[in-house]
Structure formats: C-alpha cells, structure tokens
A and B are shown apart, each in its own frame.
Chain A
C-alpha cells in the first residue's frame, strides 16, 4: 500500500522502524526466533496490509468519502445511518409446508424481527410442482413448498402484506412468485403500488454459483427485463432485483472477486434495461444488492464501503444517472454459511456475531445471521432465535450504530477500501473486455475463476495457512448429536393430494386460457407479467406456468447457460 506521508510523520516513522521495531526484530533473530508469526499477512484477496497503517497525506476526504447520504456514499446511503433506524433484521426462513413456515414467520415477527425473507424449496425455485417426479426428496427441504396461489395464501395467513416488507429468494421463477405475491396483496385489498419488498431475480449468478436456473440465459434475461418494466410501472416501491455476491462468495470467490463479479452483473442488468428503452433514473433506485460477511473483520467492512463507492461511480460516470438514489448501493448481508463448522458447532454463534459486526460496521441495510447448526442440517427454532438475538445485541447492547461509519478514517480500513475497489475495478475492466458479464458467464470464465479461488482456499486450510478452529486447530474428539430440524418425508405425498384437490376445484377452462396467453406472450415480445398474473389468479401452478415457458424458451439443465 503506497501512500504519501507527511514529512514529519515519515521521519518519526523511520526512527521507529530503525530503533524500536528494528531492535525487536534483531533481538528475536539473535535468539533464532521470528519476530512475527507469519511471513505474509495477505488477505485472500491478496491484499498485504502495512504492519501499521499510517495517515495518507494525499487523502482527499470529500471525493473519497463524502458524508452519509451523499455521493459517493462510502459512509452509507442514509444521512442518519443507524441513528435513525437500525438495519432491517431479516431472517431467511422457510421449510416444509406453507403452514409450517407461516408459524415460523409469526414466531419471528413476535420476537422483534422487522422484515420477512422467504426461503423456497428447490422445486419452487426451479418451477416444478411438488408432485413432479423430479421433485423427489426436495419438497419442503431448503425452503417452503409453493405450487400455487393457494399456498401463498396460507404462507402469509394473518400477515398484512401492505404492512410488512418481504424479500423473496427466487430467481428463475421470480416473475411467477412476484405475480402470486401481488395477487394475494390485491385479494387482501392492498394497493400494489405501495408494496415493499424484494425479489432476488438475479440469474447471472445462478449459472456461475447458485445453480437454480431453469431457462437458458437469453430468455431468462428477458423475464428479468419484463419484471423490471412491470415493477417500474406498477410496483415502484418494490426492489425488482437483488444483485447477489453472496452466492459467488459462498461458491468460493475472494472478497475482491465478490465485489467485481456482482457489480459486473449489475452493469449487465442496467445495460439490458437501458437497451430496452428504460430511463436509468426510472429503475436504478430499485436495484438492490446482497453480499456475504466472511471472517476477515476489517477486509469485510472495507468491502462494503468499497462496493458502495464503486457502484456510485459506475452509475454516475458509465450510465449518467442523475438522481442520487440511482447511485446508492443498498444491500442486504448474510453471514457466510461456508464458514460454519460442523465441528464444535456452538462456536458458530461467535463466528456469526463477528461477521454480523463486520456487516454493521460496513453499513448494511439489512441482515440475516446464520444459525449455529446449519453445517449439520436445517436450523432449529432455538438456533434461529439465538441468531436473531445476536443482531439485537449488536444493535442495542453494543451500540455499534451510535456514530455513522465508525471505521471511516481508520488508516488501515481506508487503505483496504481503496485496495478492494482497485482490484474490483481491474476485474470489471477485464470483464468489459470480454464483452461484459453475460459473456463472462456464458463462456464459463466467471465460474472457473470462482472455482479456482475455492480450491486455493481449501488448500490453504489444509496447509494450515488459514486457520479454522475445530477443523485444523484446537480439534477435539466429539460425538455430538444436537437436536436438528427434520422435514416430514411424507410431505411430498400430502402435497400431491393437495394439488390433486386444487386441480378439481379450480376453473380449469380459465387456467387453460390463461396458460395459452402466457405461451403467446412468450412466443412474442409482450411483457410476460400480465398473463402470468392472470394465470396465478386462476390458480395455475408454478409447474404449469414454467413448463409452458420452457416449451418456448427451452431448459438450462446442468447449470449451463
């Protein structure tokens, strides 16, 4: 890290290095010891920190940091930071049936959670009904099983959609779930233009990291464009996408790659919308982001600050956005699931707390804290409560939000912020040279880069260069079988019965008519949202709608775009 030193500091520093530090190193060496524990203290992004960070005399405060709520938003997007309102505490939850999950939501809301976050099972995420043979074993496992509007009605029973904000982790089939949510809100008498929430709707990262894609890349991008247009017009308070680095990081990327690939994907979505004739300021304020919070406390906090600054510059300089809101990177954070250990699993409570601290210091807008038992199975309700309480402790007991961007001005953190930004910019420009993120995804390059970092990380654990407590250090023999949550394997049978019943009770002629309209829109260029809404209102299932789309679009099995 090179920076300009004030001459007075430079002189004093040299004296310290020579006399104090130098003497210490010499003393150690004379005894045949090393003065420091490692040869290199580089982060996984390859940033070698200064032994002791010093003030940069050339540091341009106003252009680099600004103030909370002002360009380039390094210090956060809210002028009042957490002094006005804490981050939204939003635990990702869903398992089993809509009824099981509805009970968990009521428990979380009663415990002080401030937003909902829906986890769907894999069949729902990939557009298969729960009675489809391909869904075998997966129904209700990683999330709630939803096949039709009837399930969504049960999922939000007793919850007024006009009064909560709901985030839905749904990508390939986001248009269908958004349609179901809007349809239920209308049934509840809500004005959909006032609904607050988010659909993840980010397929680019699906092909490289998360792999719940269903359609090939081109029609998948068209579905996203249709949801953008629909939301801009009908649901202006809804975040139409959550551009996600979380899964890229979980798949093994470094922090710098996480920022770079996420923002590169973001650029691709913005370009797509502009190419479709949308005005950048009409939609950019409703783009949201999602990052992970990994173990390196300071690099992670810096990462969030760097991402905010870089995105603001991209929106302003590359896309000529005019509204400040269009330049704000608002993001959700989840603590890094890949850092949880099955060994001595209670230690995960501490890991999660530290990662949550990094997110708060980085100014996250909402947060999910993982449960201690997630390296073993789905989390139990007790574990989920500890995770939620961790956030509440951080906010209310530790008071990390009393002064905005508390790490701002730390010589070390500002240097890390600069370096992450620089590394991410280099990668983005490399992706630009390839023709943009769509090409970098399609060619397999982005996935291969992530995979290489994952393997290097594993090797570093195996050589003990990276320490994982309980795995390669301080290990113990244990035979712990904590209580775990299990989904009743009979669920697929009961869901099959429910679907059979639904299909006899609904107006099947209306369903067929609506599906024909979905098909016609898919074949042409009309926005798909209106016919999809009509179909879900007729209780067409997600499987029916998606197989109709797949007939026209084709399928993207095996994660190949």
Chain B
C-alpha cells in the first residue's frame, strides 16, 4: 500500500494579490509528491479555515506580502486550531519582519519563510514535521 501523500492547503488571506511566491511553492510541493489544494488569493480567514476542514489537510501554508500578516495569520490560525486541533502544521511566508516571528510562532506557526528561501528547504521541513 502506498503511503497517503502529504496534503497541503495553500492560500492568501486578505487583499494582497502577489501570487508569484505561493505559485512557486505550489509547484514545488507538487513536484515533491505532495497533494496541494489551492484555496486562492484574496480569501477571508474563515474561508481558508473552512477549506482546510473540508479538505482535511495536514498542512496549511499562508502567504502575505502586503504587511497584513498580523492580524490575518493569527486569525486564520485560531479558526483552524479551533476546528482541527493542533495536528495541522501551519507555515507562513512573505514579507514578514523578523520582529513579528515570535507573535506568529505563539499563534501556532511552525515556521515563517522570507524572500530567497530554497523550496527544497520547505519540502524537507514539511516532510520532517508531518512524519513526526
């Protein structure tokens, strides 16, 4: 029996339209054999959480380059945690100042990626975290 592939939901909360980063991640995760659902850009936190529940994913990845990651990331995380518990791995990326990482970690994010990240690093991280 083949192992079920890791299932990931990607989305962009808020009004930010910068799609390059999340599309590159999407293609890279698919190339690495993961099942990736794209919930879209300009989604509300409740829409993203509902999609995560609906798709029953292992990982949710959020991207924001407009500076609205706070409050949007913690708000989305809270809704996901409430509905899916602590098992879902949350990752974030975008233009996110180092000073904000602590608040996002507290909100449940396993890691925050910035510009210039190698996609292989992201694949490794997800594989390690979801396995353990």
Q: Which positions in A face B, CB cutoff 8 Å?
A: 122-123, 125-126, 128, 134-138, 141-142, 206, 209-212, 250-252, 338, 340-343, 374-378, 451, 454-455, 458, 462, 468, 470-472, 481, 484, 487, 489, 557-559
- Shortest CB–CB separation between residue B115 and chain A, in angstroms? 5
CB pair A559–B119 under 8 Å, yes or no, is no
B: interface residue count bin:
20 to 34
Say whether chain A's binding surface is mostly helix, strand, loop, or mixed.
Answer: loop
| Cβ-based interface call for B27 (8 A) | yes
A558 cross-chain contacts in B, Cβ below 8 A:
40-43
- Give residues of chain B (77-96) contacting chain A, Cβ–Cβ below 8 Å: 95
B24 interfacial contact with A, CB 8 Å? yes
Known: A250-B20, A451-B23, A458-B28. A487 touches B67 (CB 8 A): yes
Residues of A with C-beta under 8 A to B120: 462
- Segment of B2-10, B53-61, B68-76 engaged in the interface with chain A: B68-76
Q: List chain B positions with a Cβ less than 8 A from chain A.
A: 14-20, 23-24, 27-28, 40-44, 66-72, 95, 97-99, 114-116, 118-120
- The contact sample of 29 A-B pairs, CB cut-off 8 A, is A122-B66, A123-B15, A126-B15, A137-B67, A137-B70, A138-B66, A141-B68, A142-B16, A206-B17, A211-B18, A211-B19, A212-B15, A250-B20, A340-B115, A341-B115, A375-B95, A376-B95, A376-B97, A377-B97, A454-B20, A455-B24, A458-B119, A462-B118, A481-B98, A489-B70, A558-B43, A559-B17, A559-B40, A559-B42
For A125, what are the chain B residues with a Cβ–Cβ distance below 8 Å? 15
Nearest-neighbour CB distance to chain A for B116, whole angstroms, equals 4
Q: Are B40 and A134 in contact, with the CB atoms below 8 A? A: no
CB <8 Å contact, B23 and A455: yes
Q: How far is the CA of A382 from the CA of B41 in the complex (A)?
A: 33
Minimum distance in angstroms from B39 CB to a CB of chain A? 9
Nearest CB in chain B: distance from A138 CB, A: 5
Distance in Å: Cβ of B77 to nearest Cβ of chain A: 14
* Residue of A375, A451, A458, A481 most packed against chain B (CB within 10 A): A458
Output the least CB separation between B75 and chain A (Å).
8
Indicate which residue in A126, A141, A375, A472 contacts B67 across the interface (CB closer than 8 Å).
Answer: A141
Chain B residue at minimal CB-CB distance from A122: B15
Query: Given contacts A122-B15, A484-B97, is CB(A137)–CB(B71) below 8 Å?
Result: yes
Chain B residues closer than 8 Å to A484, beta-carbon distance: 97
Question: Quick one: closest A residue to B121, CB to CB?
Answer: A462
Question: In chain A, what residue has the closest Cβ to B98?
Answer: A481
Question: Is A377 a contact of B95 with CB atoms below 8 Å?
Answer: yes
Q: How long is the Cα–Cα vector from A138 to B16 in the complex, in angstroms?
A: 8
Return chain A residues, CB-CB under 8 Å to B97.
376-377, 484
Residues of A within 8 A of B118 (CB): 462, 472
A334 CB, nearest partner CB in chain B, Å: 15
Smallest CB gap from B70: residue in A: A137
